[in-house]
Amino acid sequence: MDPIIDLDFIDNRTPEQATAAASCDTKVTAETNTGKSRKLYIESYGCQMNFSDSEIVSSIMFEQGFDTTAHIEQADVVFLNTCSIREKAETTVRNRLGQINYFKKKKPEMVIGILGCMAERLKKSLLEEEKIVDLVVGPDAYRDLPNLISEVDGGQKAVNVLLSREETYADINPIRLNSNGVSAFISIMRGCDNMCSFCVVPFTRGRERSRDAHSIVREAQALVAQGYKEVTLLGQNVDSYKWASEDRTEQVNFAQLLEMVAKLSPTMRVRFSTSHPKDITDEVLYTMKKYDNICKYIHLPAQSGNSRVLELMNRTYDRSWYLNRVDAIRAILGEDCGISSDMIAGFCSETEEEHQDTLSLMDYVQYDYSYMFFYSERPGTLAARKLEDDVPLEVKKRRLAEIIEKQRECSLNRNKRDVGRMHRVLVEGFSKKSDQQLSGRNDQNKVVIFDKKHYQKGDYVNVFVNDCSVGTLFGEAVD
Ligand code: SAH
Ligand code: SF4
Ligand code: F3S
């Protein structure tokens, strides 16, 4: 996977071009054609949890008489499931609304809804700011969609942004829209109680709550039965998963849940994201070691390598705690375990030396890849209220560029270690460049490309890797 780089871009495409591009990068749903009378078009932005929520929304809308369509011009209802994590995420959605206006002008009865984190953050003011929006629905209010849609059908605008302490949509059977038929995602919890000072998620997603462990196992079991080969358990902080039965006789923590899912089938790979450095336990690491089908890869966002900055970020760990966790991963799971991170460049008052600490942390850990951003102040967060966003934009961008350069170095080092070795690859489909080549991922979540021979999507293939780039491994299938 290529590291994600958060640099601005200028979007000067036509609405048709932009819609076509959106279809390519899988923001748009696949089609369900079951003869329903109305059609829903849904685009998802932001994190995997949002993509997973869109599958819940589609299921609720299906019960309400909606098929999904991949063609916006055919839609009766258009939903954008939005993200607020950085300013740019919100700007992208506002630009997209501008393009959607073009379709709405051609078809004025088209209903436009904003779902997800931007809906929750901006609430009904979105209706005033963006005139074409008819519906604003927060992440815990999707069960109310049928009522809200009928309000809009009756000629009104509708809003529900109530957050819940209980809602986990545990009983809703998601319609797998964003899936390649090989890997799927299961949300195991919602919300976040962590209050990192830069982060909007606790405000947009509400309090942390864990989903019934048995409903998770049932969902994973259904995926096995449908032929899926990989499941990723999702949460903002999976290590704090904790579920108890009503009479409290049964209690399940994350390590135990992982084990319950891993036991379902030895050929079903299990992944998870995101791990929080303050909460990841040795118990989780030993559970990973115990089961071959739990992938040896951990997304462990550091955010910064400097203890003072980490304290300002309210991450509740310092540099040495983080490094201790990395050492535990290496000691228990070995050097081959993949580790990735998220990094923020130019957080409030970060000095040049503190930025150097981030680079030296990266040198020590040797991340396989990272998602890298410069700090973007979000209204209402602790940092916005208490700290000054005082690192100039050009300094943030320069530091980010240095972080990206460091990551390229680390990714290349890590990928070179993989050359000359055999990897077990789960095939996800054709490579982007050729239908003579297949693309899949190894245990450590790295993309591997090889000539297809007689193999196909969903196969596990032993691939001997003979070359690599910063983002990809290349090899040959060995029968
Ligand atoms: N729950 C995950 C992160 C979810 S948000 C965790 O705790 O690691 C994904 C990433 O976006 C964060 O890890 C952080 O690196 C980045 N991010 C969040 N808020 C940001 C902000 N205000 N500016 C820049 N990056 C931000
Ligand atoms: Fe945001 Fe921190 Fe929660 Fe992650 S753990 S979602 S960064 S508040
Ligand atoms: Fe974005 Fe909300 Fe996810 S802010 S990153 S979509 S939880």
pLDDT(1) > 70: no
76-123 tens-digit pLDDT? 999 999 999 999 999 999 999 999 999 999 999 999 999 999 999 999
Tokens in use for 19?
């819609």
- DSSP states of 25-64 as a string? TT-BPPP--S--SEEEEEEE-SSHHHHHHHHHHHHHHHHT
Q: Nearest 5°: phi and psi at 263?
A: -75, -15
Tell which one of 85, 188, 204 to mutate to probe ligand 1, the residue whose CB is within 8 A of the most ligand atoms: 85
429-458 tens-digit pLDDT? 999 999 999 999 999 999 999 999 999 999
Q: How far is the CA of 445 from the centre of ligand 2 (A)?
A: 22
Quote the pLDDT of residue 222: 96
- Provide the pLDDT confidence category of residue 3 given band limits of 50, 70 and 90: very low
Residues contacting 152, CB < 8 A, separation 6+: 111, 134, 135, 158
Which residue spans within 207-250 are E strands per DSSP? 209-210, 230-234, 242-244
Question: Using an 8 Å Cβ cutoff, are 195 and 214 in contact?
Answer: no
pLDDT(293) > 70: yes
C-beta 236 within 6 A of ligand 2:
yes
Model-level pTM?
0.93
409-435 tens-digit pLDDT? 999 999 999 999 999 999 999 999 999
> Which helix (H) or strand (E) is 85 found in, with range?
none
Question: Using an 8 Å Cβ cutoff, are 213 and 257 in contact?
Answer: yes
- Provide the pLDDT confidence category of residue 30 given band limits of 50, 70 and 90: low
Tokens in use for 221?
């079991």
Which protein residue has the closest C-alpha to ligand 2 atom 5?
Answer: 194
Residues contacting 89, CB < 8 A, separation 6+: 45, 46, 82, 83, 118
Which protein residue has the closest C-alpha to ligand 1 atom 24?
Answer: 375
Lowest mean pLDDT among 110-114, 177-181, 215-219, 246-250: 177-181
Max distance between CA atoms of the chain, in angstroms, equals: 65
- Provide the pLDDT confidence category of residue 180 given band limits of 50, 70 and 90: confident
Tell which one of 85, 196, 200 to mutate to probe ligand 2, the residue whose CB is within 8 A of the most ligand atoms: 196
Distance between CA atoms of residues 36 and 31, nearest Å: 12
> How far is CA 289 from each of CA 270, 361, 469, rounded to the nearest angstrom?
12, 25, 28
Question: Using an 8 Å Cβ cutoff, are 403 and 362 in contact?
Answer: yes
| Ligand nearest to the backbone CA of 196 | 2
pLDDT(6) > 60: no
Atom of ligand 2 nearest to the CA of 202: 8
Distance between CA atoms of residues 97 and 112, nearest Å: 9
C-beta 85 within 6 A of ligand 3:
yes
pLDDT(305) > 70: yes
C-beta 47 within 6 A of ligand 3:
yes
Q: Tell me the average pLDDT across 240-265.
A: 97
Q: Tell me the average pLDDT across 133-141.
A: 98
314-346 tens-digit pLDDT? 999 999 999 999 999 999 999 999 999 999 999
Q: How far is the CA of 269 from the centre of ligand 1 (A)?
A: 26
Q: How far is the CA of 196 from the centre of ligand 2 (A)?
A: 6
198-209 tens-digit pLDDT? 999 999 999 999
- Going by C-alpha positions, the residue among 458, 451, 454, 460 that lies closest to residue 425 is 460
59-88 tens-digit pLDDT? 999 999 999 999 999 999 999 999 999 999
- Provide the pLDDT confidence category of residue 161 given band limits of 50, 70 and 90: very high
Q: Tell me the average pLDDT across 38-66.
A: 95
Which protein residue has the closest C-alpha to ligand 3 atom 7?
Answer: 201
Quote the pLDDT of residue 28: 54
Q: Tell me the average pLDDT across 374-389.
A: 98
- Provide the pLDDT confidence category of residue 33 given band limits of 50, 70 and 90: confident
C-beta 303 within 6 A of ligand 2:
no
Which residue spans within 351-459 are E strands per DSSP? 369-374, 422-430, 437-441, 447-451
Which protein residue has the closest C-alpha to ligand 2 atom 1?
Answer: 199
Return the number of other C-beta atoms located less than 10 Å from residue 405's C-beta.
11
Q: Tell me the average pLDDT across 179-186.
A: 92
Distance between CA atoms of residues 96 and 231, nearest Å: 31
Tell which one of 195, 198, 199, 239 to mutate to probe ligand 2, the residue whose CB is within 8 A of the most ligand atoms: 199
Which protein residue has the closest C-alpha to ligand 2 atom 2?
Answer: 196
Mean pLDDT of the chain: 93
Which protein residues touch ligand 1 with a CB less than 6 Å away?
85-86, 198-199, 201, 236-237, 274, 276, 301, 303, 342, 344, 373, 375-376, 378
Q: Which domains does the chain have, with CATH numbers?
A: 8-160 (3.40.50.12160), 183-415 (3.80.30.20), 422-477 (2.40.50.140)
Quote the pLDDT of residue 36: 74
Which protein residue has the closest C-alpha to ligand 2 atom 4?
Answer: 236
Question: Using an 8 Å Cβ cutoff, are 42 and 100 in contact?
Answer: no
Q: What is the three-class DSSP state of 186?
A: strand
Distance between CA atoms of residues 224 and 227, nearest Å: 5
Quote the pLDDT of residue 344: 98
Quote the pLDDT of residue 130: 95
> In the chain, what percentage of residues exceed pLDDT 90?
91
Tokens in use for 135?
């519906």
Question: Using an 8 Å Cβ cutoff, are 205 and 192 in contact?
Answer: yes
